[in-house]
Amino acid sequence: MSDFPLFERDPYLAEVETEIVEVGNEGGRPFAVLSRTIFYPEGGGQPSDRGLLGEVPVIDVQRHEGFIRHTLDREVPLGPVTARLDWERRFDHMQQHTGQHLLTAVADDRFGWPTIAFHLGEQLCDIELAVVNPGPGELRMLEETVAAEIRVARPVSTRRIPQDELATLAVRTRGLPAGHVGDVRLVEIAGLDLNTCGGTHVRSTSEIEAIKLLGTESMRGGTRLFWLAGGRVRARLAVHEQRNAALRVLLGAPDEELARAAELKLGQLHALEKQARGLEDELAEATAAALAARPGRVVSAHFDGKDVAFLQRLGRRLSSSAPGVAALLTASLGDQSFFMVVVGEAMALEVQTVGKEIAGLLAGRGGGSGRIFQGKAGSLASRDAAVARLGELVAGA
């Protein structure tokens, strides 16, 4: 019988009777080593498998000193066990990884764009291509060419060869792992690609179902190309359809008009925000004038439903219009409270010292410059005491 792992001999094997031959703990996590395993360990850009050993979840799989360690949710005993894959995750990885081989082969052979790196993510896949800024037309042609190769239903197979035979074959490779010894595993898409790879793959390009290119970004003199294959394409389309259905209701427009409808709504919102800022300025101006007109050297005011931006508008106006006045201004918006201490230019008070003392009374913290100290208040329960203390500081000065 072959010594190769079960996941390599038959990637479609989703359950097997095996034996736990070693257990241990590393980094606070228990692990197990099996006599034979269907779990793929992370490597070559492909994440590790998940599943169960008996009823215990497998949360990671890694190679370690020539063995495959299965990191577990909890400890397990030595002895016989049934290993079960999370098949949906495994088949998704098989679709994505074979899709990468196909995409890499077409990009290299038809467009002269070799692949530098591959990453199979939880949501998206990407390959790094040795090409600078491919155009939309070229990417559209790449996607169409890949779709045609999927429809051909080319067989996908694997085999191993002695390492010294590698140079005699037209193998597409980014190099063997450091320290690799022994045979080399090849994955072949019939008539299209021969690649060094240790990952799990589907039997035919038809099982990839589809590949959708999503976008690019520039990186290190090349291009990172984002894409999806197989079930991920259908899942993403379903999410888009659900989102579009919600937007159709919210915006009252068909799919082809959603972007324009959203643009119009944003324009209206920006106009209203500009109008609101103007009204806030007018309110701050009138409130500052009213506060400045009050008798005495200390004034205070509280505003519900206002934020720190309103206090800033008000504080700047009050500081310039009432040089002989000190003020404590507070506001509440939702579950947040804000405060501001304003000291007129004619008053012999050090703003930072006064502000820090008032902040302490309000269980808050803040900072400031010029004649204004502002911050967030933890509580306004002691607001009256803070106003009284500000009065004492003004009187003392």
Residue 205 has pLDDT above 70, yes or no: yes
User: What are the C-alpha distances in Å from 361 to residues 50, 71, 312, 356, 376?
Assistant: 54, 52, 21, 9, 12
Helices (H), the chain: 6-9, 87-111, 136-152, 231-251, 258-292, 308-321, 351-361, 383-396
pLDDT digits (tens, 9 = 90+) for 289-324: 999 999 989 999 999 999 999 999 999 999 888 989
Domain ranges for the chain, please list them. 6-85, 91-237, 283-396
* Residue 358 confidence (pLDDT): 94
Please say whether the beta carbons of 14 and 85 come within 8 A.
yes
Residue 273 CA to residue 197 CA, distance in Å, equals 56
100: how many CB neighbours lie within 10 A of its CB? Answer: 27
* Residue 3 confidence (pLDDT): 67
Residue 104 CA to residue 295 CA, distance in Å, equals 79
Please say whether the beta carbons of 105 and 115 come within 8 A.
no
**Is the pTM here over 0.85, yes or no?**
no
Residue 2 has pLDDT above 60, yes or no: no
Q: How much of the chain is helix, strand and coil, in % rounded to 5?
A: 40, 30, 30
Residue 51 has pLDDT above 60, yes or no: yes
Token pair of 286 as six digits: 């009138």
* Residue 66 confidence (pLDDT): 86
* Residue 1 confidence (pLDDT): 35
Domain 6-85 has CATH 1.25.40.20: no
How much of the chain exceeds pLDDT 90, in percent? 85
CATH number for the domain formed by residue range(s) 283-396? 3.10.310.40
Q: Average model confidence (pLDDT) for the chain?
A: 94
Residue 390 CA to residue 349 CA, distance in Å, equals 10
Which amino acid, 138? E
* Residue 55 confidence (pLDDT): 96
pLDDT digits (tens, 9 = 90+) for 237-273: 999 999 999 999 999 999 999 999 999 999 999 999 9
pLDDT digits (tens, 9 = 90+) for 96-107: 999 999 999 999
* Residue 174 confidence (pLDDT): 76
Residue 179's pLDDT band (cuts 50, 70, 90): low
Residue 22's pLDDT band (cuts 50, 70, 90): very high
Number of alpha helices (DSSP H) and beta strands (DSSP E) in the chain: 8, 18
DSSP 115-172: EEEEEE-SS-EEEEESSS---HHHHHHHHHHHHHHHHHT-BEEEEEE-GGGGGGS--B
Residue 344 CA to residue 347 CA, distance in Å, equals 6
The arithmetic mean of pLDDT across residues 356-367, rounded, is 94
- The distance of Cα 302 from the centroid of its chain, to the nearest Å, equals 40
CATH number for the domain formed by residue range(s) 91-237? 3.30.980.10
For 288-306, b/e burial (b = at least 16 CB within 10 A) is beebbeeeebbbbbebeeb
* Residue 157 confidence (pLDDT): 96
